């Protein structure tokens, strides 16, 4: 399960640069979800999966 960092952690505004094609894919996929929340969930999900695969490779 991915944690809901946005409600348990103070947020900080950042700026990122993305290719137009990636931004378009994000906007097409996110529906009514705010862009920043969608990206936050995607990053949390990526980190969760990466952490899981790292712990498997350490055994």
The pLDDT confidence band at residue 31, using thresholds 50, 70 and 90, is very high
Find the domain containing 58 and state its range: 32-59
Helices (H) and strands (E) in the chain, counts: 3, 0
Residue 23 has a CB neighbour count (10 Å cut-off) of 14
In a domain, 41, yes or no: yes
In a domain, 44, yes or no: yes
Distance CA 33, CA 51 (A): 25
In a domain, 3, yes or no: no
Number of domains in the chain: 1
In a domain, 45, yes or no: yes
**Whole-prediction pTM:** 0.71
The pLDDT confidence band at residue 19, using thresholds 50, 70 and 90, is very high
Tell me, what's the pLDDT at 52?
87
Tell me, what's the pLDDT at 5?
59
Helices 35-57 & 20-30, crossing angle to 10 degrees? 100
Phi-psi region of 31 (alpha: psi -120 to 50; beta: other; left: phi over 0): left
In a domain, 12, yes or no: no
In a domain, 50, yes or no: yes
In a domain, 5, yes or no: no
Mean pLDDT, the chain, whole residue set: 88
For residue 43, is pLDDT > 80?
A: yes
């Amino acid at each position: 399960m991915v944690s809901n960092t946005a409600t348990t952690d103070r947020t900080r505004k950042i700026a990122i640069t993305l290719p137009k094609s990636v931004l378009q894919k994000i906007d097409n996929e996110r529906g009514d979800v705010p862009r920043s929340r969608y990206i936050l969930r995607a990053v949390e999900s990526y980190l969760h999966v990466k952490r899981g695969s790292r712990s498997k490779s350490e055994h």
